[in-house]
Amino acid sequence: MSPPIHVKVIACVVNTFVLIAGVRNIAAPGVVVPVIPEDAAFRAHFHPEPGYFSADDQRMAFVFQLLGVGFVFMALSKFVCVFTTPESTYLRQKLFAVAGLCDLAMASVVYMYDGLPKSVTGGFAAMHAAEGLVLLVDAAFRPRPVKAAAAIKKR
């Protein structure tokens, strides 16, 4: 059975924003994306000039591009886990547990950062905390019946 609808909705919303931010960081680091709340304040924190990073700031642009690759990987991995196969596998359970723990770590690190106001970091932290909790609860409590082929092999 595929994940419940609440897992799909939360994963879709959170990872759509993460994917948008990741693609932006790869293709145009430093450019503000209007659909991401408080993105201008986030960008200004790392680079005071609007638009792309300047030639003097190429190291920070490189760091943002690497971060973008990680964001894209994280978002696409969750999309694959949540939306592809309808069967409820033990691999998905373990991936949900790992992703949930990483989401909670991300939420914690972002929330504890004092360099930006909570109006900038709070939503990002809350989205990841919600997704992390939902994935961990799903991994821990949703029943996953043993497949018929696996049960026959054990005999």
Local confidence band at 145 (pLDDT 50, 70, 90 cut-offs): confident
* DSSP helix/strand/coil, 4: coil
Residues 6 or more apart whose CB falls under 8 angstroms from that of 65 comprise: 25, 26, 29
pLDDT in tens, 5-22: 999 999 999 999 999 999
Q: Are 91 and 147 in contact (CB under 8 A)?
A: no
Distance, in Å, from the CA atom of 20 to the CA atom of 59, rounded to the nearest integer, reads: 22
Instruction: Output the pLDDT for position 16.
Output: 97
Q: Which amino acid is at 60?
A: M
Q: Pick the residue with more confidence: 72 or 47?
A: 72
Q: What is the pLDDT of residues 51-61, one digit of tens each?
A: 566 666 788 88
- The whole-number average pLDDT for the span 32-47 is 87
Tell me the per-residue pLDDT of 73-126, one tens digit each, with 9 for 90 and over. 999 999 999 998 777 688 889 999 999 999 999 999 999 999 999 999 999 999
State the pLDDT at residue 108. Answer: 97
CB 97, CB 139: distance < 8 Å: yes
Residue with tokens 């209007």: 34
Nearest to residue 22, comparing CAs of 81, 78, 75, 101? 75
* pLDDT for the residue numbered 50: 62
Average pLDDT for the chain:
88
Is 70 exceeded by the pLDDT of residue 128?
A: yes
